[in-house]
């Protein structure tokens, strides 16, 4: 039986990942921790306090029996990397598989080596761009990172349709100049998935499914289990 722990900073993502987990494996067991304060603190950058709080949540999930922990917030992705050294189970950042795939696309034969990164909040651009740069290594890749104007405000007002349309418009515009478009935040994924038109042949990558799949593989691999082995679903919030 595989159990995954998920750490969210956006409450709505618990349901998103729960649904994806059911699609991936109906018997997968997920334990969720939601801490919006982490995202608020990320506005000041990655501080020792933020890293320590993230690591504490990861250890808590490991203590609850998680075989692997997935941090679903790209803004604190670098805290996930640091937490991996302080936790007895794998701790993964949700956007790493997406970043690695974007580099593969941008460096493929005939590609221009251009990656567009879109976010709705400024705090995500730096961590995602640095992750892509690390994945690229010495490869000649140019990353164009931008915030979608007005999208975050629309979401805060509860205007999800407006948020989604702004994200889709930004994707279409970026697709014309890039080999691949990266949606830096998991919360942006549904906006494009609901109406994936206008990007032509340019791939548009989001993090939830690929990140969850990587966590499942890491968790199942700890004991040599097959991915098909899993158990019932459980949910827990730990605000402290």
pLDDT tier, 201 (very low <50, low <70, confident <90, very high otherwise): very high
Q: Is residue 162 part of a domain?
A: yes
- Shared domain for 89 and 143, answered yes or no, is no
Q: Is residue 40 part of a domain?
A: yes
User: What range defines the domain where residue 39 resides?
Assistant: 3-93+208-221
Within the chain, where are the H helices? 12-24, 36-41, 48-63, 77-84, 96-106, 122-136, 151-156, 160-175, 189-193, 208-221
pLDDT tens-digit profile of 2-43?
Answer: 899 999 999 999 999 999 999 998 889 999 999 999 988 888
pLDDT tens-digit profile of 158-173?
Answer: 999 999 999 999 999 9
Q: Is residue 238 part of a domain?
A: no
Q: Per-residue b/e over 29-55, b at no fewer than 16 CB within 10 Å?
A: bbbbbbbeebbebbeeebeeebbebbb
- Shared domain for 7 and 71, answered yes or no, is yes
Packed helices 77-84 and 122-136: angle between N→C axes, nearest 10 degrees: 60
pLDDT at 231 (0 to 100)? 32
pLDDT tier, 232 (very low <50, low <70, confident <90, very high otherwise): very low
pLDDT tens-digit profile of 121-139?
Answer: 998 999 999 999 999 998 9
Provide the domain count of the chain: 2
- Shared domain for 88 and 75, answered yes or no, is yes
Q: Is residue 231 part of a domain?
A: no
Four-CA torsion 52, 53, 59, 60, nearest 10 degrees:
160
Q: Is residue 239 part of a domain?
A: no
Tell me: pLDDT of 225 over 50: no
pLDDT tier, 236 (very low <50, low <70, confident <90, very high otherwise): very low
Q: Is residue 228 part of a domain?
A: no
pLDDT at 47 (0 to 100)? 92
Global pTM reads 0.87
Q: Is residue 237 part of a domain?
A: no
pLDDT at 222 (0 to 100)? 61
Q: What are the backbone angles phi and psi of residue 30, rounded to the nearest 5°?
A: -120, 135
- Shared domain for 125 and 191, answered yes or no, is yes
CATH of the domain at 198: 3.40.50.1860
pLDDT tens-digit profile of 73-86?
Answer: 999 999 999 999 88
pLDDT tens-digit profile of 38-63?
Answer: 988 888 888 999 999 999 999 999 99
The mean per-residue pLDDT over the stretch 217-234 comes to: 52
- Shared domain for 89 and 102, answered yes or no, is no
- Shared domain for 107 and 175, answered yes or no, is yes
């Amino acid at each position: 039986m595989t159990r995954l722990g998920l750490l969210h900073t956006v409450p709505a993502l618990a349901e998103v990942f729960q649904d994806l987990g059911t699609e991936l494996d109906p018997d997968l067991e997920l334990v969720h921790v939601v801490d919006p304060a982490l995202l608020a603190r990320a506005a000041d950058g990655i501080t020792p306090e933020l890293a320590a709080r993230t690591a504490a949540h990861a250890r808590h999930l490991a203590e609850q029996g998680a075989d692997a922990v997935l941090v679903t917030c790209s803004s604190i992705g670098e805290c996930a990397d640091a937490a991996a050294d302080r936790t007895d189970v794998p701790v993964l950042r949700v956007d790493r598989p997406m970043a690695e795939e974007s580099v593969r696309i941008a460096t493929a034969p005939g590609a221009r080596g251009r990656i567009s990164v879109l976010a709705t909040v400024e705090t995500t651009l730096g961590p995602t761009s640095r992750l892509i740069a690390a994945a690229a290594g010495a490869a000649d890749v140019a990353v164009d990172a931008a915030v979608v104007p007005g999208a975050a405000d629309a979401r805060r007002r509860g205007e999800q349709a407006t948020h989604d349309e702004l994200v889709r418009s930004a994707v279409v515009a970026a697709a014309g100049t890039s080999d691949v478009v990266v949606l830096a935040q998991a919360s942006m994924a549904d906006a494009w998935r609901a109406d994936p038109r206008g990007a032509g042949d340019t791939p548009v990558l989001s993090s939830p499914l690929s990140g969850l799949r990587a966590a499942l593989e890491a968790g199942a691999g700890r004991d040599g289990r097959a991915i098909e082995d899993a158990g019932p679903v459980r949910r827990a919030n730990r605000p402290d």
